[in-house]
Chains A and B, each alone.
Chain A
Amino acid sequence: MKKIKLALIPYSAYALIFIVAPILLIVLYSFQDTSGALTLDNYLRFFDFSDPVYLKVLWRSIRLAFISTVICLILGYPMAYILSKLSPRVRGTIAFLFILPMWMNFLLRTYSWMSLLERTGLINTFIGWINGFLPAAVQIPSLNIMYTQWAVVLGNVYNFLPFMILPIYTVLIKIDQSLIEAAQDLGASRGRVFRKVIFPLSLPGVVSGISMTFMPAVTTFVISRLLGGGQNALIGDTIENQFKVVGDWGFGSAMSVVLMILILITMGFIRRFESDKTGRSVLM
């Protein structure tokens, strides 16, 4: 048995070099200026309350991710509920249909929304076609959300909705049916059964879903870049920009550290509410 423990050595070494050391390096770089001298300037620049350019970007990222998560929850919960009510054979197939789109490259799926949303895109062409049949008084206005915050929200909702539906669905199908029957036998109405029994029992799935949509939505830079255009940069865009364009790695690292701390705090907070066996297993 002693020898088996030796199997841990290669991985311990690997984890030390490729997981621990890189994170320490980010922290180290965040305290350096472009010449390599130690400094606090990177953090002072980020937390500059007299000219809060970067704090505003962070705030925008959190706000848009929050809106996207709320919409995902509002759209996703009823879907998960409907799915959980189907017979076990059918619901497996339908749940599979929610995972299927994720097998197509997400850059392409997001890019495809551009063809749909553009001023002369497919949705507006379709609206124009319908308007041809309608009297002039009830024309449908054309949809012009491309390169606005709402396009970013739409991209987030589109990409992360399955991550909200599946954990909730997984928890809902595991609810002990006898609890629901007991509540009904005791005279509770359908709405009351939902409010007092089903919803509280599904909360761990909701919490999982929230963490699995909110986290990637805060840190994305692709969706905002493709659909939001230049003026709706998020914290992810700003970090990417520092590394790939500006070349100020110190400042980019400092923003990464702030983001990392934010994520760890949120995850620590969420883990308290999350039961261990929820939707993650479905997706991973």
Chain B
Amino acid sequence: MNKRRHPLSVLYSVCIFLFLYAPIVVLIVFSFNESKSRGRWAGFSLRWYQELFENSTLMDALKTTLAVALISSAVAVIIGTAAALGLHYSKKRIRNLLMNITSLPMINADIVTGISLLLLFTFIGLKLGFVSLLLAHITFNIPYVILSVMPKLTQLDNNTFEAALDLGATPLQAFFKVMLPEISPGIVTGFILAFTMSIDDFVISFFTTGADVNTLSVAIYSMTRRGIKPEINALSTLMFITVLTLLIVVNVRSGRDVQKREKERR
């Protein structure tokens, strides 16, 4: 194979990365800008970081975002894991039908999903606010959990579960002691995916939340019309660095696990 790296391909990669990272760099750099302008540099300052923590709208939005993400992914994990179990053991026809329904929110445009849920909440007379927001997030999170857990169930050896039952375990004991440890990586992946999707969502939240409850995305969107305050740059810089640190920690740890497993195999 040709291992030589062509200078053109290096140049090309640099250009693509420049394109992808330019707006992010701009955002981070201008979060340290002394002035309010988003085009002119007026000197280094931590002013916007300080104002961020004093900004109750943004802080409330951050709390709502985290609360909705945590609760909705936890509920989605419970319903989704149970659903994956049930689907795994049900007849093929029922499974295919339900899987098709499950994939609908993933295929459909977010705007259509958001509007359909808005219509539902209006139809049943649920006031738009935290509860409707939460229900909407649970709805689009469950499919990610199901799709993460299902493959783990297919890999599972069915005999171990039956062996546990034969040895006198109750079905619940057998589930928690035998099955759950095996499928837990899928559940964790599902939870992380759901959490990420929930934090990242704008469109569905935009249609299903009320006037007094804001997620960060919704708060940012309403700000874009009046001009974004630099505090939000500070906040997203902090979030970006948090996520980056978390990802690096997770990657390093899982890399170490892989190495350990390989050593044990030898």
18 cross-chain CB contacts under 8 A: A5-B90, A6-B86, A11-B142, A15-B98, A19-B101, A82-B12, A104-B27, A107-B221, A108-B228, A111-B228, A112-B23, A158-B23, A222-B221, A236-B109, A243-B207, A256-B116, A259-B111, A284-B144
Tell me whether A18 and B90 are in contact (CB under 8 A): no
Mask, A142-180, CB within 8 Å of B = 1, is: 000000000000000010011000000000000001000
Contacts of A106 in B (CB 8 A): 200, 202
The secondary structure that dominates the B interface is helix
* A residues in contact with B196, CB < 8 Å: 103
Shortest C-beta distance, A273 to chain B (Å), equals: 16
Among A11, A12, A118, the one with the most B-chain Cβ atoms within 10 Å of its Cβ is A11
Residue of A nearest to B30 (CB): A115
A85 CB to closest chain B CB, in angstroms? 8
B234 to chain A, nearest CB (A): 11
* Chain A residues with CB below 8 A from B146, complex form: 11
List the A side residues contacting B24 at CB < 8 Å.
101, 104, 109, 112
A274 contacts B by Cβ under 8 Å: no
Q: Distance in Å from the Cβ of B136 to the closest Cβ of chain A?
A: 8
A12 touches B98 (CB 8 A): yes
- B102 interface residue, CB < 8 Å from A? yes
Interface size class of B (residues with CB under 8 A): 35 or more
Interface size bucket, A side?
35 or more
Judge whether B101 and A107 touch: CB under 8 Å.
Answer: no
Residues of chain A at the chain B interface (Cβ within 8 Å): 1, 3-12, 14-15, 17-23, 25-26, 29, 75, 78-79, 82-83, 85, 94, 96-98, 100-116, 118, 120-122, 125, 158, 161-162, 177, 215-216, 218-219, 221-222, 226, 236, 239-240, 243, 249, 252-253, 256, 259-260, 263-264, 267, 284
Chain B residue contacts of A23, Cβ below 8 A: 104, 116
Q: Does B56 reach chain A (CB closer than 8 Å)?
A: no
What residues on A are CB-neighbors of B193 within 8 Å? 284
The stretch among B43-51, B66-74, B180-188, B237-245 that forms the contact with chain A is: B237-245
